[in-house]
Every structure is written in structure tokens, then in C-alpha cells.
Amino acid sequence: MMPLFKFIIIITLVSCGGGGGGPSGSNNVVIPNNNPYLYVPPSGKSRDNCISRSASNTWSEDFNDIELDNSKWSFDEGCNNNGGGCNGNNEYQNYTSNDKDNLFIEDGVLKIQAINEVNTGSDNVTQNYTSAKIMTKDKFPIEHNSRVSICFRVPEGTGLWPALWMLPFDNSPWPSGGEIDLIEAKGRAYSVDGSPSQSNIVSSAVHFGTQWPDNKYIVGEFYSSNENTFQNYFHSVTMIFQEDKIDLYIDDEVTPHLTVNPTIYPLNQYTYPFNRQFYLIMNVAVGGNFDGGRVEASEICIDAECSNFEANPDKKRLLIDWIEYEKLR
């Protein structure tokens, strides 16, 4: 099935919660960008709409083992309420490290699911949902002059908030250190209060600023056809990460749905924070500010088997088929 896409670029000035923290470091890598890289999507497909695989990867993850590779990934746990509610976004889940319930690998696909269950997390906060969040923090940095591609499918369910994103590898504070959101999606599959169904919409963004609450962000949204949604089929996101430039693409599109550089307003009013190493994060949140706090408990799994949706439990899970990281030069 050939997808029919349209895209829109949105620039927004708001304050919101979230992000990492900690002391800043000095392991930034900056490579001169005298000869910008021109991205040409590979021909062919790997799964559904995902681009074909590359033979020149620097690092890749295919989830071929039955257990998560601890040399590549670590878990984040708990609520992480440092202000602004859990994870700075008023989220309703505790992240766990139970990779048999909230995260598991099946048939070569990583699956992350939120579960409707009361849980007291590692930081002693009680929440009504559990989920999983994994990251390459302190294990593998993503550097300039590189390509990152991920083949994914997002879950359906009002309140589910899947995200593939990055924070500074040197733990620079948020938001001045920058945040790169490769993909975020809302699980709501129906229209409400003038907002359309989200099943065919994903967004990418960058966050920047000085100190909280001075958070600004720039967003690019991408729309699929209604017959080829992000909740029903695998799609890929590709980031071309260069000094002073970030481009994000869906599937084999030749035009990025989000381009970021130091000259774009309002980023040109701040120190450009993205000329540093980052690490990758993948998670599914519940509730929070992203879709106005909407949550429908009946649309979320009630146990590890997702037995309330036994006909198609994967419909409620973030699915990751593969990840590629390639140094371009």
C-alpha cells in the first residue's frame, strides 16, 4: 500500500514541563560542516512503510535476542517529579524495570506497553499506571554527521503517549542543553473538542531555552493517509544530524517535515544547544499535558497479556522493529 502524505511545519512559543537534568560536562563533539550531507532515502522497503536497511551501520539494534541487551540499554524508573508533576508533564504512570510486563521482545520486535494497575514506584510515588522507559544513557552517544533511523508503530488508546527522543549525553540541564524529539504521538483515535483523530499524525520537535520555565520549542507535524496510519502500520523516522542542522524525515520522503538550524526564530534568540552528543530514549507515557490530560482507562491494557484486547494486543503497544545509527563521514 503506497502512503499519501502531507506535512505542516509549526513554530510554537510555550512553556511546558519535562527534560533531563544534572551537571553539565565537556564531552561535546563538533565536526566542521563545510560540506553539508545531502540525504537520499534508500530505495525499497523493509517492513510496511519503513525504509530499507543499510549495510553500513555504525551501531544497530534488531531485537533478535529474547532479553533486552543491557550493554546497550538501561531502564529509567519511577515518577521523576522534579516539578510540574511526574516527568514534568503531569503524567499518570510509574516507569518500571520489569521487562516481562511493561517491556518485552517478541518475534524480533521490541514491545512497550502501559498497564492499568496501581503501583508505588522506586521514588515512593503511587500512580494508577505502569509503563517502561529505556535509554542509551552512559552507554552509547549519538554524534554529529550521523543518521539515525527507527522503524516503529505507535499504540492506539486515549492517553497513551509514545515517544522516541534524545537528551544530552553530558547531562546538560534542561532546556538549555536541548532536547530532540524524533517522534511523539497521541493515542486518541477519535475527534474531540475540535481536535481530530490522532491515528494518522506524528510530530517531531526540538526544545531549547535558558532555565525552566523559559522553555521554547519548534514542532513539525506529519500526516499520513487515513488508510495507512501510524497506529496500523510500521513507519520509519530518519534524523540527519549535522553541525548547526537537524533534518527529520518520515519513511522515504525526500523533504524533511522538520528542519532546525541556528537561524530559525526563536532559536536564533538563544545559544544553539544541539552541537553536542545525545542519547536515545524510548517510552510510553500515560496522560500528561500532551493531549490535554485525556485518558480512557478502558482503552489501556489491564495486565501483561493485555487480555482485554486479546484479539490484537499489539494495537496497544509501541512496537520497534529496528534502529540504525550510521556515521556519515
Higher per-residue pLDDT: 291 or 100 = 291
C-alpha cell of residue 91: 503524567
Give me the pLDDT at residue 24, please: 30
Radius of gyration of the chain (CA): 18
Query: Residues 156, 179, 299, 324: which is the catalytic one?
Result: 179
Q: Indicate the DSSP class of residue 313.
A: G
Give me the pLDDT at residue 299, please: 98
Q: Are 179 and 210 in contact (CB under 8 A)?
A: no
Q: Are 323 and 60 in contact (CB under 8 A)?
A: yes
Task: Determine whether 184 is an active site residue.
Answer: yes
Could you tell me whether strands 201-209 and 317-327 are parallel, antiparallel, or unpaired per DSSP bridges?
unpaired
C-alpha cell of residue 109: 520486535
- Whether the predicted pLDDT of 3 surpasses 90: no
Higher per-residue pLDDT: 22 or 130 = 130
Q: Is the peptide bond before 23 cis (omega within 30 degrees of 0)?
A: no
Low-confidence winner among 19-33, 124-138, 218-232, 309-323 (lowest mean pLDDT):
19-33
State the virtual CA torsion across 109, 205, 222, 197 in degrees, nearest 10. Answer: 80
- With vertex at residue 181, the alpha carbon angle to CA 104 and CA 37, rounded to the nearest 5 degrees, is 110
Mean pLDDT, rounded, of the chain? 90
Q: How confident is the model at residue 31 (pLDDT cuts 50, 70, 90)?
A: very low
Give me the pLDDT at residue 310, please: 97
- Say yes or no: domain 6-21+38-327 is CATH 2.60.120.200: yes
What's the pLDDT tens digit per position in 189-198? 999 999 999 9
Domain ranges (residues) in the chain: 6-21+38-327
Q: Is the dihedral of CA 197, 240, 150, 143 positive or negative?
A: negative
What's the pLDDT tens digit per position in 237-270? 999 999 999 999 999 999 999 999 999 999 999 9
Task: Determine whether 61 is an active site residue.
Answer: no
% of the chain beyond a pLDDT of 70: 89
Higher per-residue pLDDT: 66 or 26 = 66
Query: Residues 91, 184, 299, 324: which is the catalytic one?
Result: 184
Burial of 232 (C-beta count, 10 Å sphere; 0-12/13-18/19+): middle
